[in-house]
Homo-oligomer: A and B are copies of this chain.
Amino acid sequence: MSDLPAPLNPPERLLCGPGPSNIDPRVLEAMRLPMLGHLDPDFHKILEDLIELLKAAYRRSDGFTIALSASGTSGMEAGLASLAEPGETAIVASCGFFGNRMIDIARRHRLNVIELRAPFGQAVPNDQIVEALADHPEARLVAVVHAETSTGVAHPLEQLGEAMRGSDALLLADCVTSLGGMPLEAEGWGVDYCYSCSQKCLGAPPGISPVSLSERAMERIRARTQPVPFSFDFEQLARYWVGRPAVYHHTTPNTQYYALYEGLRLALEEGLEARWARHAEAGAHLQAGLADRGYRLLADPEVQLAQLSAVCVPEGVDGKDVQMRLLREHSIEVGGGLGPDAPDIWRIGMMGTNAHTETADRLLEAFDAVLESPREGVSAGRA
């Protein structure tokens, strides 16, 4: 190239979208620690501790819990590709973009997908899932989104696990937006496969996907007759992560693991219950402030997440313009609707280091400033 681009100089942002969230300085600092090789015995000691931290975060004592070297989306794909074989039946409950993505990915891996769908703002009722399971006794897998980032809807996962107890079908849950931000008990609730990300309620940088498999999920994988993509081969991954001597699978993203390690230490120092409560408080504070201002939330209050609020853009307001002004005039990121069929919403995250009532207040003030000083030609009407 003729001229090199300038050194990076990204602006400081308050990240109140659906993730990433801002990163604690301790986590950033961890990424500068000396690099070790992926087969260094001193690195394996770190991985052993990382596994313990992840098991504590997911609340699982057995099975296999690691962080995949990939995005949360790949964590989704690894589970769907691994827990059922081509031609087998999977029941997928979708209440938004990420549920729909599960359906797409399950089909790409040639599963026979039974789709259950809820309208935006609702969860698929557990009764309907249990009924589908009775109608499809051949189903090997039930997949739900614990916290649907596209709509702000929580799925009552504990109750689904309870209702499925004794079933041969495995339970898979998208915990991308739930891990570290709301109650989750992988083992206690009978969730066979959870996947998440590093960059939302855990507050580490994006790039790796904490996943947790039950012992019976691993057994199911070991009994497969058809291959899985190599990147998602949990049997081979286990030979690296817990095999001694460790057997090479791929070169692991060690600085990312350092960051997640420190992010998890921060989360567990705080205590999971305290951290969940902090997210609940920040979300409730934000949602009360939004209600005071006359905004309507997309989700049914019964299933409203605290850490992610989908706010309906009032009629006459240009939602995208408001987003851009928050970014340009206040350096605050909020999200918009996700996907071509999305309702007209803002998506506001109170996650990780940002899950504080003070952050909610700062965001509400910025919203007020933008909506009370409309740009020419843009109405600022409220619902």
Contacts and interface: CB of A to CB of B under 8 A. Distances in A.
Contacts of A72: 250-251
Contact of A71 (B5, B33, B69): B69
A302 B333 CA distance: 55
Contact of A35 (B23, B52, B253): B23
A60 to B, nearest CB: 12
A266 to B, nearest CB: 10
Contacts of A207: 69, 207-208, 252-253, 255-256
Nearest to A109: B229
Contact of A333 (B37, B71, B248): B37
B31 A269 contact: no
Interface string A49-73: 1001101100000000000011111
A152 interface: no
A8 B31 contact: no
Number of copies: 2
B250 A73 contact: yes
Contacts of A109: 229
Given A71-B69, A207-B207, A333-B37, A4 B253 contact: no
Contacts of A36: 10-11, 13, 333
A55 to B, nearest CB: 8
Interface string A72-84: 1110010001000
A15 B231 CA distance: 25
Given A249-B73, A251-B206, A53 B10 contact: no
Nearest to A261: B8
Contact of A53 (B1, B206, B256, B261): B1
A10 B37 contact: no
A74 B207 CA distance: 14
B253 A256 contact: yes
Interface in A221-272: 227-231, 248-256, 258-259, 261-262, 265, 268-269
A278 B109 CA distance: 45
A107 B227 contact: yes
Given A15-B37, A69-B207, 18 more contacts: A1-B53, A1-B55, A1-B56, A4-B269, A5-B261, A8-B262, A9-B33, A11-B34, A11-B42, A20-B254, A23-B35, A40-B333, A71-B250, A73-B231, A105-B229, A105-B230, A107-B227, A205-B255
24 contacts: A1-B53, A1-B55, A5-B52, A7-B262, A7-B265, A12-B34, A15-B37, A17-B37, A17-B39, A20-B38, A37-B335, A69-B74, A70-B71, A70-B231, A71-B252, A72-B251, A73-B230, A73-B231, A77-B229, A81-B229, A105-B229, A207-B207, A229-B229, A256-B256
Nearest 10 A/B pairs, CB to CB: A207-B253, A73-B250, A5-B49, A71-B250, A1-B56, A205-B255, A108-B227, A74-B231, A206-B251, A12-B34
